[in-house]
Amino acid sequence: MILNLGLALLGTAVGIIFGAIPGMTATMAVAVFLPMTYAFQLVPALYLLLGLYVGGISGGLIPAILINVPGTPSSVCTGFDGYPMARRGESERALKVGITASFLGGMISLIVLALLTPPLAKMAIKFSAIEKFLIILFAMTVIAALSKGSMTKGVFSGFLGVLLSLVGELSMNNKMRMVPSFLSDELRSGFQLLPLLIGLFAICQMFQEAEKGMQSNNLDEGVTVEGAKKFSFSDFKGQTVNVIRSSLLGTFMGILPGVGGSAASLIAYSQTKSFSKHPELMGKGAPEGLIASESSNNGLTGGALVPLLSLGIPGDATTAVLIGAFLLQGIQVGPLFIGQHPDIWNQILLALFACNILMFIVMFFPIKLISQVVKVRSARMYPVILLMCIVGAYATRSGVMFDVWCLLLFGIVGYVMNKIGLPTAPFLIGFILGGDLEKYFIEAVKGNN
């Protein structure tokens, strides 16, 4: 047990590092550690990997809040409100709100996993391509919620993102589109999400700051961290419904195979905005937006395990890697898994419980230190961010130099878009959802005989 908890702690801590580094994700963390788990028994291996999973999903909130660069795709919405809070000097408060929301999301999804797995899995496979197409379309409506200035420009930018996501080969018929022939090797599998994401946020910001001469840090002028509003659990007052709704939305998106984690936080965010008493404050540093995003992306963790453990079908990209851990130990996950291995099943629930608590402890207490990052001068911070981004981009597909060029390319694209007044967040969201939108559209039309 001590060993297991030690591994869970290690996993959570390393996962948080992976999540916090722009361009590195929970999926990558689990994949990196997977071959090492061969040396363990399955149960300790699961403690480690689930720790990486929970930590990796949670760690993404740190850079999203502190430097407006989502550490993982599922924390895209975290920065919408987290970063304005940090600029007001409330970085510590924002981080604590985010971590608490993550913890609550993880726990709620754990309860769902523990109590409702078999019936929910049965329901999940009833969702056909048509429903999944509609869900993705629904997630895209967050673009409207985001477009503050001009709705048309936001939607235009979103569709540009969708168009870009179609570049490359359609895996269904192995045919390429929109690829110049001299790039056919590089662009065969299209542009990768992570280089695009961090290019659009981190590198673009670096150029913007360079243009301004790298004068200051990320705080608004005249703001001090000391004078800012402090965190207290009363920040969650009146947010009960938001927490539960967002967590359950995240869990539900996790349960549906093939609907990714980013869709979860997008839908939770736009739902929170439409139910909010002060929708005008969202996007300007309202804790409720932060709560929605973080409780939903951690809600995903338990949800994604539902179809994995009861059907053998992973709920998201990270759980797809987790299957590998079972296979390495010669254990099949599928419809009989829970019945045949009740001991492992109980250990998984226990591990997830432990990992969520550990995640909370590991992140909550050193937060004072981490939140000081906002005070670091841009001139010193951006080179280090750049270094991390390069590692992240290169590691996206385990070592493809083209992805690092894309990092630069999308840094420039983001910079130009900002200059001509096209919002980049809808562009990113369009890109994230574009591939699935096409896939489920085609499947829906073709499958519906």
Partner 1 sequence: MQQFLKEWLKIRNMHLFFPYLIASICALLFVVILIQRAIKCKKDGTPFINFKNYHFFKPGYDKVKLWGSLVLFILYIIALPELHFAWASVIFIFLFNVLFDMKPGKLFDIKSILISAVIAFVGSWGVWYLFYQVFNITLP
Partner 2 sequence: MKKFIASVLVFVLCFAPVASAAVYEGQRVRIVIGSTAVSGDSYMVADIVNRYLQKYLNCNSKVDPVGANEAFATIKTAAPDGMTFMIFHDMTYLGVLFGSYSKDYDLENMVIGPRVGQNPGSCFAGKVNAPYKDMKEMAEWLKADPSRTVRLSVELGSVSNLAFVIYYVWLKDTYGEEVANQLRFVLGGSTDTKLQQLWDNNADVIFGDYSSFLQYTKEGVDEQLALKYVGIMDRIPGRDDVPVYGDMGITMEGKPLYFSKDFLIYLPKGTPDNVVAELDEAVAKMQADPQFQEDMAKMTYAGNTLQSKEAKEFIYAKRDAIKNVLAEAPNIEDLE
CA dist., res. 211 & res. 415, Å (int): 10
- Using CB distances below 5 to 8 A depending on partner kind, what does residue 279 bind out of partner 2, partner 1, none? none
Q: Is the separation of the CB atoms in 414 and 203 below 8 Å?
A: yes
Q: Is the separation of the CB atoms in 175 and 169 below 8 Å?
A: yes
CA dist., res. 146 & res. 273, Å (int): 10
Q: Decide if residue 179 touches partner 1 (CB under 8 A).
A: no
One of 166, 244, 281, 361 touching partner 1 (CB under 8 A) = 166
Per CB under 8 A, contacts with partner 1 among 355-384 are: 378-380, 382-384
Q: Is the separation of the CB atoms in 390 and 407 below 8 Å?
A: yes
Q: Decide if residue 379 touches partner 2 (CB under 8 A).
A: no
- Using CB distances below 5 to 8 A depending on partner kind, what does residue 160 bind out of partner 2, partner 1, none? partner 1
One of 232, 332, 346, 372 touching partner 2 (CB under 8 A) = 332
Per CB under 8 A, contacts with partner 1 among 400-419 are: 401, 404-405, 408, 411-412, 419
CA dist., res. 316 & res. 42, Å (int): 21
Residue number with CB closer to partner 2 (142 or 313): 313
* Shortest Å distance, C-beta 36 to partner 2: 11
* Shortest Å distance, C-beta 334 to partner 2: 3
Q: Decide if residue 172 touches partner 1 (CB under 8 A).
A: yes
CA dist., res. 187 & res. 195, Å (int): 13
* Shortest Å distance, C-beta 166 to partner 2: 16
Residue number with CB closer to partner 2 (84 or 314): 314
CA dist., res. 186 & res. 172, Å (int): 19
* Shortest Å distance, C-beta 377 to partner 1: 8
* Shortest Å distance, C-beta 427 to partner 2: 25
- CA dihedral for 137, 142, 146, 148, sign (positive or negative): positive
- CA dihedral for 391, 396, 400, 404, sign (positive or negative): negative
Q: Decide if residue 137 touches partner 1 (CB under 8 A).
A: no
Instruction: Give the binding range for partner 2 (CB under 8 A) out of 149-157, 247-255, 292-300, 325-333.
Output: 325-333
SS3 260: coil
SS3 176: strand
How many Cβ atoms from other residues are within 10 Å of residue 5's Cβ?
17
Q: Decide if residue 388 touches partner 1 (CB under 8 A).
A: yes
The label of the residue with tokens 């939607």 reads: 155
How many Cβ atoms from other residues are within 10 Å of residue 111's Cβ?
14
Q: Which residues contact 298 (CB under 8 A, 6 or more apart)?
A: 54, 57, 58, 101, 102, 103, 104, 105, 106, 109, 247, 250, 356
* Shortest Å distance, C-beta 213 to partner 1: 4
Q: Is the separation of the CB atoms in 68 and 76 below 8 Å?
A: no
One of 400, 409, 438, 441 touching partner 2 (CB under 8 A) = 400
The Cα-based distances of 349 to 109, 289, 374, 448 in angstroms read 11, 29, 37, 38
How many residues interact with partner 2 (rule CB under 8 A)? Answer: 45
Q: Is the separation of the CB atoms in 293 and 268 below 8 Å?
A: yes
> Which amino acid is located at 201 in the chain?
F
Residue number with CB closer to partner 2 (304 or 363): 304
- Using CB distances below 5 to 8 A depending on partner kind, what does residue 34 bind out of partner 2, partner 1, none? partner 2
Which residues make up the interface to partner 2 (CB under 8 A)? 31, 34-35, 38, 122, 125, 128-129, 169, 171-174, 185-186, 188-189, 257-258, 311-314, 320-321, 323-324, 327-328, 330, 332-337, 339, 397-400, 443, 446-447, 449
Which residues make up the interface to partner 1 (CB under 8 A)? 32, 150, 152-153, 155-156, 159-160, 162-163, 166, 169-170, 172-173, 175-178, 203, 206-207, 210-214, 378-380, 382-384, 386-388, 390-391, 394-395, 398-399, 401, 404-405, 408, 411-412, 419, 434, 437-438, 441-442, 445-446
